[in-house]
Amino acid sequence: MMILKNLGARVLLDNALYEDLKAWVSRHYRDELAPDDIRDPALLFEVRTALEELTDILNLGKLYDFQRA
């Protein structure tokens, strides 16, 4: 068990993480993505917001270049 405490990241699925991930999907997952959505600059912000939140949920730190800018 001590090794799991040293893991740092929250990557082992338990009930709490499952619930957090379900809530994340509900907030950020689109049912549809149309061609006009791809051209919308707001989509980039939306995706980056979702990734930022996901890396926070999983305690992964700043993985992406946009998070370090």
pTM of the model: 0.81
According to DSSP H, which parts of 1-69 are helical? 2-6, 15-28, 35-39, 41-57, 65-68
In 3-state terms, what secondary structure has residue 41? helix
Radius of gyration of the chain (CA): 15
Which distant-in-sequence residues (6+ apart) come within 8 Å of 59 by Cβ?
8, 9, 10
Per the listing, tokens 């001590």 go with 2
pLDDT at position 42: 93
pLDDT at position 19: 98
pLDDT tens per residue, the chain (69 residues)? 566 667 778 989 999 999 999 999 999 999 999 999 999 999 999 999 999 999 999 998 898 888 887
